[in-house]
Amino acid sequence: MTVVNHAAAGAVIALVIKQPYLAVLLAFLSHFAMDGLPHFGYSGYSEALKHRLTHLYIFLDLVGWFFLIWAMSGLPWLPYIAAFAAVLPDILQSSYRATYYFWLEKRGKHFHRGPLSKFHRWIQWGHYPWGILIEIAVAVLLISLVWKLK
């Protein structure tokens, strides 16, 4: 799912649940619930990069960020922390992949998925090109909610 959708979900959670620890924990867990929805994607990164729709998807993510940052302006720190927590599983995954690619692979180490990474992959059962419509609907809904709740 787009990074902005995860961040917006985290912000909405923090705007509804005002207890910091609970909000941040739920925001982190929301990542997996969001990834459990059918969403945009192809099987594998190299396949995805062959399609123009992937470029549109990246562009929409950036446009979404513009609206989310606008919607979040003036908010206290908690929604920002929760937004970060909601994106964290993807940050961990990417840093793990980068570490593997740039460091471990060159030392002849084999790619190993940890339990969280395995779960993260397993929960994303539904990657479809038409999932971009779900991504857009979720972005409009969640960013509007941030506007409404602030």
Residues of this chain that interact with Zn ion (CB under 5 A) are 35, 90
For Zn ion, the closer CB: 15 or 86: 86
CB of 89 to Zn ion, least distance (A): 5
For Zn ion, the closer CB: 119 or 149: 119
Helices (H), 17-76: 20-35, 45-48, 52-72
For Zn ion, the closer CB: 41 or 79: 41
CB of 6 to Zn ion, least distance (A): 7
Write the CA distances from 115 to 30, 36, 110, 143, integer angstroms.
Answer: 17, 17, 16, 31
CB of 123 to Zn ion, least distance (A): 8
In a 3-state reduction of DSSP, which class is residue 128? strand
3-state secondary structure 73-93: CCCCHHHHHHHHHHHHHHHHH
For Zn ion, the closer CB: 18 or 65: 65
Write the CA distances from 56 to 51, 91, 132, integer angstroms.
Answer: 9, 22, 9
CB of 13 to Zn ion, least distance (A): 16
